[in-house]
């Protein structure tokens, strides 16, 4: 049966495919027409085919099991793609480049002269109190003064169509492998669409990642040895670690495979003896990276890795300490950083934020808890938040007490109603909320993924897109409507 | 390649081979029992001894009847040698090898594992058991075929072959051992036809009946069967053949002279046996000795190539059962 878009409604929301009048937006016209003809039942058949393909391809993510150990879940993909016009994407991409460039200037500045502090733009207290500020990094100069080599920024679109940056993940952002695999699966189930529409490819990422990493081996004369460092199979992103290592043709190492010698060089233990390592794409948090420098109880890391890095004998991506800009309070200063370092206005706005550490702003937040989202500055994954409009009197009272006790630890934002994309539910298409995580590679040059990973809240009305909390994902199409 | 990865791929191959051969083991015992007359059978208990899982079995206080023992060997999560545990360990090892293994191999292993889990009730049902066991053998063979057909001949492949052939040599000897356990009174001349039937069952369990006929011709005899299963130079499941493959693999690696010396000892031991002189209890002893040699080869490979275990390192994947059933000190 043909899809009837008049019964698909998203009142008061911005839908990425269907415009206010019920007609498809430019980038999604071919898709909407195709879906209309296909009909609900056939879409269901394709959705099932996609789920089978995902199972067979072993695309999984790991969740921890209650009884200890872990289990693999098939990666949740909704086959209806999210479409963005190339023209709009070009602007977003420029905004992301600008943002990450400024952030890298900021991190390098913070660990050197701290000009931005001296000039009164960012207060020193903000930095000193950031949980991810690493005094050990002061004075270290990584190659090209680049710290955040891989950044995953979360973008959301509000009801009025504005695209905001919600947060920048600068430590070990994940999801890029699913972006690539989603495309593989959707190509299998909608092959016809790829004939008719100009959909930009996404699969260049591993090659770009490898080139960026290899370029960090500034002292290496031959072919550099690049490895991916994983915490191991029990990590929720292990699939991705293995995927990227394989796509790049690099060894996937664990901490116990590596050793730092007395000359601060890093070696891996192979069947043909020890071999020097030049670049480590590490997927382990700073805290666990080196028991000599950070948490002494870490068995995942490599003793001495920090001194090897500080001595310039090995490159780490991302650099230790890059997470200082991951803090949500530091986030509120990014537009200022862009102006300060680049002399430009931010292309992509932040979500308006109140800093609870500033008394006047705290007062406003306390008076408006019911309409705001309160977020811990070092949280991620949607944990430890207060969603004002859905909260109870008691929860608000608890949060108010927390805010007063440790105001530095929180920011507040208005509730942004995320845009929606048609999503297959039962036997029909319904609007579901989405965000978008593009990935930005920074080294001697900058690269932005074509689109990114679209995450979707599968529950009706839910704004929580995290896969650990029942979120799904979608393929993201940057559609060239002019070429 | 990384020492840890070499170890994981070695164990992946061992566990796959172990799952396949445990299926063969159950199948040969079931066949033997069908061929025997009532009153002579020893039942299923010898399989517990042969798989070296006596301790695990006793600790569960199970009855030693067919149902309980087959369940223990097929599906028991607490029995590190069960098919279910072996496939699980193979899969866990493969998970650490996703950057090394061809995509198809991971897909097939996943499907194999899922099918095994789904079909398990059929394996516990006497009527459907043979078919179930056959599918395990086929599943393992399919995967081995995909790996052979798609993996470059690098160290990763070499360590996989080392694991496969060492485990296969070990398990073939155990399958022969099942036969030595189901002893018929030698004096009872009316049982002679049953002896022959029993050896044919052993050959069938090794998928070797046809190859035996082609190369040995004539009547199936005990001595010829032993020579075929343990010492044939052409049959890919014979112990001697597997040892030769281990040798070829080792020769492609650097620093293998120590392991090759150990292997030569096993080879000499097997070469000098005179099967005419060996009675059934002697056969059991011989197989015990052979397994001690094989675990010596394993220890030697581990020492030369696998990561030394630092004090606090975890080693999550292996079910350490490779030295099961060896009751004798290592020969020197």
Question: A380 pLDDT exceeds 90?
Answer: no
Question: A65 pLDDT exceeds 70?
Answer: no
Contact A242 B316 (CB under 8 A): no
- Nearest-CA distance A74 → chain B (Å): 12
pLDDT of residue A70: 54
B329: confidence class by pLDDT, cuts 50, 70, 90:
very low
Mean pLDDT score, B132-158: 95
Q: Is the peptide bond before A318 cis (omega within 30 degrees of 0)?
A: yes
**Would residue A68 be called left, alpha or beta, if left means φ above 0 and alpha means ψ between -120 and 50 degrees?**
left
CA A414 from centre of chain: 21
CA A451 from centre of chain: 12
- The backbone torsions φ and ψ at residue A454, rounded to the nearest 5 degrees and listed phi first, read -90, 125
Contact A299 B312 (CB under 8 A): yes
pLDDT of residue A67: 45
pLDDT of residue B39: 61
Question: B158 pLDDT exceeds 50?
Answer: yes
Q: CB under 8 Å to A90, separation ≥6 — which residues? A: none
Among the partner residues A232, A272, A299, nearest to B254 by beta-carbon distance: A272
pLDDT of residue B192: 66
pLDDT of residue A10: 72
Which site among A271, A273, A301 would you substitute to test the B interface, given the most B Cβ atoms closer than 10 Å to its Cβ? A271
- Nearest-CA distance A233 → chain B (Å): 6
Note the pLDDT tens digit of each residue in B264-314. 999 999 999 998 888 878 888 999 999 999 999 999 999 999 987 654 344
Tokens at residue A242, please?
Answer: 């293995």
pLDDT of residue A5: 85
Judging contacts by C-beta atoms under 8 Å, the chain B residues touching residue A252 are 5, 99
pLDDT of residue A156: 97
Question: A285 pLDDT exceeds 70?
Answer: yes
For a pLDDT cut of 90, what percent of chain A falls above it?
Answer: 72
Q: Give the integer Cα–Cα distance in Å for A148 and A316.
A: 10
- Cα distances (angstroms) measured from residue A463 to each of A186, A458, B27, B88, B309: 24, 9, 55, 37, 47
Element counts in chain B: helices (H) and strands (E): 14, 0
Among the partner residues B1, B92, B98, nearest to A271 by beta-carbon distance: B1
Q: Give the integer Cα–Cα distance in Å for B226 and B235.
A: 13
pLDDT of residue B41: 59
The residue of chain B with its CA nearest to that of A270 is B2
Tokens at residue A267, please?
Answer: 């070696």
Question: A17 pLDDT exceeds 80?
Answer: yes
Among the partner residues A55, A56, A256, nearest to B4 by beta-carbon distance: A256
Judging contacts by C-beta atoms under 8 Å, the chain A residues touching residue B1 are 251, 270-271
Across chain A, mean pLDDT equals: 91
Q: Is the peptide bond before B105 cis (omega within 30 degrees of 0)?
A: no
Closest of B305, B317, B270 to residue B162, by C-alpha? B305
Q: Is B100 on the interface with A (CB under 8 A)?
A: yes
pLDDT of residue B114: 85
B325: confidence class by pLDDT, cuts 50, 70, 90:
very low
For a pLDDT cut of 70, what percent of chain B falls above it?
Answer: 86
The arrangement of strands across the sheet holding A354-355 comes to A354-355, A410-414, A372-376, A386-387
Contact A242 B98 (CB under 8 A): yes
- Cα distances (angstroms) measured from residue B308 to each of A215, A258, B313: 33, 13, 10
Among the partner residues B3, B107, B254, nearest to A57 by beta-carbon distance: B107
CB A266 within 8 A of CB A305: yes
A379: confidence class by pLDDT, cuts 50, 70, 90:
low
For a pLDDT cut of 70, what percent of chain A falls above it?
Answer: 96
Q: Give the integer Cα–Cα distance in Å for A291 and A215.
A: 28
CB A28 within 8 A of CB A82: no
pLDDT of residue B302: 93
Our CA angle for A286, A257, A72, nearest 5°, is 70
pLDDT of residue A404: 92
- Nearest-CA distance A384 → chain B (Å): 32
Judging contacts by C-beta atoms under 8 Å, the chain A residues touching residue B157 are none
Going through A88-235 in order, the beta strands assigned E by DSSP cover 150-157, 163-169, 226-229
Tokens at residue A464, please?
Answer: 């929580």
Q: Give the integer Cα–Cα distance in Å for B77 and B56.
A: 11
Closest of A83, A60, A16, A282 to residue A181, by C-alpha? A60
Higher local confidence (pLDDT), B243 or B188: B243
DSSP A384: S
Q: CB under 8 Å to A433, separation ≥6 — which residues? A: A417, A418, A419, A420, A456, A457, A461, A462, A463, A465
Note the pLDDT tens digit of each residue in A436-476. 999 999 999 999 999 999 999 998 888 878 766 778 999 99
Q: Is A33 on the interface with B (CB under 8 A)?
A: no
* Touching B: A residues 262-321, CB under 8 Å: 268-272, 299
Judging contacts by C-beta atoms under 8 Å, the chain B residues touching residue A246 are 98-100
Q: Give the integer Cα–Cα distance in Å for B268 and B101.
A: 35
User: Which element (helix H / strand E) includes A432?
Assistant: strand A428-437
- Nearest-CA distance A128 → chain B (Å): 35
Q: Is A117 on the interface with B (CB under 8 A)?
A: no
CB A95 within 8 A of CB A338: no
The residue of chain B with its CA nearest to that of A60 is B95
- Look at the block and give the residue holding tokens 């430590």: A171
pLDDT of residue B52: 84
> Number of C-alpha atoms within 13 angstroms, CB side, residue B46?
21
Contact A256 B307 (CB under 8 A): yes
CB A3 within 8 A of CB A35: yes
Among the partner residues B1, B96, B316, nearest to A270 by beta-carbon distance: B1
CB B46 within 8 A of CB B64: no
Contact A55 B305 (CB under 8 A): no
Contact A271 B111 (CB under 8 A): no
Question: A299 pLDDT exceeds 60?
Answer: yes
pLDDT of residue A55: 81
Contact B98 A254 (CB under 8 A): no
Judging contacts by C-beta atoms under 8 Å, the chain A residues touching residue B255 are 272
Q: Is A141 on the interface with B (CB under 8 A)?
A: no
B37: confidence class by pLDDT, cuts 50, 70, 90:
low
Among the partner residues B107, B253, B310, nearest to A271 by beta-carbon distance: B253
CB B158 within 8 A of CB B6: no
Note the pLDDT tens digit of each residue in A127-181. 988 888 999 999 999 998 999 999 999 999 999 999 999 999 999 999 999 999 9
- Nearest-CA distance B124 → chain A (Å): 25
Contact B307 A232 (CB under 8 A): no
The total number of residues shown for chain B amounts to: 332
Note the pLDDT tens digit of each residue in B172-205. 998 888 777 665 555 455 666 777 877 888 898 8
CB A99 within 8 A of CB A168: yes
CB A377 within 8 A of CB A409: yes
Among the partner residues B2, B92, B99, nearest to A242 by beta-carbon distance: B99
Contact A271 B99 (CB under 8 A): no
Judging contacts by C-beta atoms under 8 Å, the chain A residues touching residue B9 are none
* Touching B: A residues 50-69, CB under 8 Å: 55-58
Q: Give the integer Cα–Cα distance in Å for B304 and A57.
A: 35
Question: B328 pLDDT exceeds 80?
Answer: no
- Nearest-CA distance B28 → chain A (Å): 33
**Would residue A321 be called left, alpha or beta, if left means φ above 0 and alpha means ψ between -120 and 50 degrees?**
left
Among the partner residues B96, B305, B314, nearest to A271 by beta-carbon distance: B305
A310: confidence class by pLDDT, cuts 50, 70, 90:
very high
Contact B2 A246 (CB under 8 A): no
Three-state secondary-structure class, residue A276: strand
Of A11-25, A260-274, B36-50, give the range with the top mean pLDDT: A260-274
pLDDT of residue A373: 93
* Touching A: B residues 121-160, CB under 8 Å: 155, 159
Tokens at residue A231, please?
Answer: 């915490």
Q: CB under 8 Å to B39, separation ≥6 — which residues? A: none
Q: Is B315 on the interface with A (CB under 8 A)?
A: no
Predicted complex: ipTM over 0.85: no
Q: Give the integer Cα–Cα distance in Å for A304 and A17.
A: 51
- Nearest-CA distance B109 → chain A (Å): 10
Question: A307 pLDDT exceeds 70?
Answer: yes
pLDDT of residue B326: 33
Closest of A289, A360, A369, A273 to residue A321, by C-alpha? A289
Judging contacts by C-beta atoms under 8 Å, the chain A residues touching residue B106 are 58
């Amino acid at each position: 049966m043909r899809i009837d878009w008049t019964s698909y409604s998203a009142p008061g929301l911005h839908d990425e495919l269907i415009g206010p009048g019920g007609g498809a937006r430019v980038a999604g016209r071919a898709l909407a027409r195709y879906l209309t003809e296909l009909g609900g039942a056939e879409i269901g058949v394709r959705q099932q085919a996609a789920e089978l393909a995902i199972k067979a391809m072993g695309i999984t993510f790991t969740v921890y099991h209650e009884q200890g150990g872990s289990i693999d879940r098939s990666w949740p993909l909704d086959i209806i793609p999210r479409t963005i016009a190339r023209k709009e994407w070009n602007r977003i991409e420029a905004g992301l480049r600008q943002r990450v460039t400024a952030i890298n200037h900021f991190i390098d500045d913070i660990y050197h002269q701290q000009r931005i502090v001296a000039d009164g733009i960012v207060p020193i207290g903000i930095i000193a109190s950031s949980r991810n500020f690493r005094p050990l990094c002061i004075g270290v100069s990584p190659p090209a003064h680049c710290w955040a080599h891989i950044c995953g920024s979360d973008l959301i679109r509000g009801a009025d169509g504005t695209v905001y940056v919600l947060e920048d993940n600068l430590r070990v952002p994940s999801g890029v492998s699913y972006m690539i695999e989603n495309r593989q699966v959707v190509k299998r189930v909608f092959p016809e669409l790829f004939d008719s529409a100009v959909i930009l490819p996404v699969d260049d990422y591993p090659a770009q990642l490898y080139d960026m990493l290899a370029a960090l081996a500034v002292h290496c004369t031959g072919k550099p040895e690049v490895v991916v460092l994983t915490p191991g199979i029990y990590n929720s992103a292990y699939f991705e670690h293995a995927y990227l290592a394989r796509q790049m043709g690099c060894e996937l190492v664990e901490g116990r495979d590596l050793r730092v010698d007395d000359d601060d060089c890093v070696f891996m233990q192979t069947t043909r003896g020890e071999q020097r390592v030049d670049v480590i794409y590490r997927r382990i948090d700073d805290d666990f990276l080196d028991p000599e420098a950070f948490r002494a109880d870490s068995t995942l890391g490599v003793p001495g890795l920090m001194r090897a890095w500080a001595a310039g004998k090995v490159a780490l991506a991302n650099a230790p300490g890059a997470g200082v800009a991951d803090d949500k309070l530091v986030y509120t200063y990014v537009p200022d950083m862009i102006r300060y370092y680049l002399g430009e206005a931010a292309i992509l706005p932040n979500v308006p934020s109140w800093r609870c550490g500033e008394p006047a702003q705290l007062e406003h937040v306390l008076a408006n808890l019911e309409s705001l989202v309160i977020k811990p500055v070092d949280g991620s994954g949607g944990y430890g938040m207060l969603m004002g409009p859905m909260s109870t009197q008691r929860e608000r009272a608890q949060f108010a007490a927390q805010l007063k006790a440790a105001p530095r630890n929180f920011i507040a934002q208005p509730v942004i109603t995320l845009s929606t994309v048609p999503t297959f539910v039962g036997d029909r298409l319904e609007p579901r909320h989405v965000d978008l995580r593009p990935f930005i590679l920074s080294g001697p040059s900058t690269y932005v993924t074509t689109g990114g990973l679209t995450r979707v809240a599968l529950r009706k009305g839910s704004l929580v897109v995290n896969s650990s909390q029942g979120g799904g994902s979608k393929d993201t199409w940057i559609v060239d409507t002019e070429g | 390649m990384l020492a840890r990865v070499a170890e994981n791929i070695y164990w992946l191959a061992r566990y796959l081979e172990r799952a396949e051969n445990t299926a063969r083991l159950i199948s040969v015992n079931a066949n033997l029992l069908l061929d025997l007359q009532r009153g002579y059978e020893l039942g299923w208990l010898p399989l517990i001894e042969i798989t070296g899982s006596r301790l695990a079995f006793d600790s569960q206080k199970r009855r030693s009847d067919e149902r309980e023992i087959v369940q223990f060997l097929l599906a028991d999560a607490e029995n590190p040698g069960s098919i279910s545990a072996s496939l699980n360990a193979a899969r866990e090892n493969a998970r650490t090898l996703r950057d090394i293994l061809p995509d198809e191999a991971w897909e097939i292993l996943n499907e194999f594992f899922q099918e095994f889990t789904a079909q398990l009730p059929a394996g516990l049902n006497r009527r459907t058991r043979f078919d179930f066991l056959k599918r395990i053998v086929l599943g393992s063979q399919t995967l081995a075929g995909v790996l052979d057909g798609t993996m470059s001949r690098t160290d990763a492949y070499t360590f996989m072959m080392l694991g496969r052939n060492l485990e296969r040599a070990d398990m073939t000897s155990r399958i022969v051992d099942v036969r030595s356990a189901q002893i018929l009174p030698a004096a009872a001349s009316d049982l002679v036809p049953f002896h022959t039937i029993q050896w044919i069952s052993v050959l069938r369990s090794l998928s070797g009946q046809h190859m035996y006929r082609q190369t040995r011709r004539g009547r199936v005899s005990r001595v010829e069967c032993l020579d075929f299963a343990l010492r044939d130079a052409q049959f890919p499941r014979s112990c001697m053949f597997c040892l030769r493959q281990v040798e070829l693999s080792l020769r492609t690696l650097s620093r293998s002279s120590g392991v090759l010396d150990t292997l030569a000892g096993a080879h000499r031991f097997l070469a000098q046996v005179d099967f005419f002189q060996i009675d059934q209890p002697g056969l059991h002893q011989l197989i015990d000795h052979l397994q001690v040699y094989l675990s010596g080869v394993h220890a030697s490979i581990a020492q030369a190539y696998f990561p030394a275990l630092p004090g606090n390192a975890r080693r999550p994947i292996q079910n350490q059962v490779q030295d099961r059933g060896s009751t004798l000190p290592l020969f020197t």
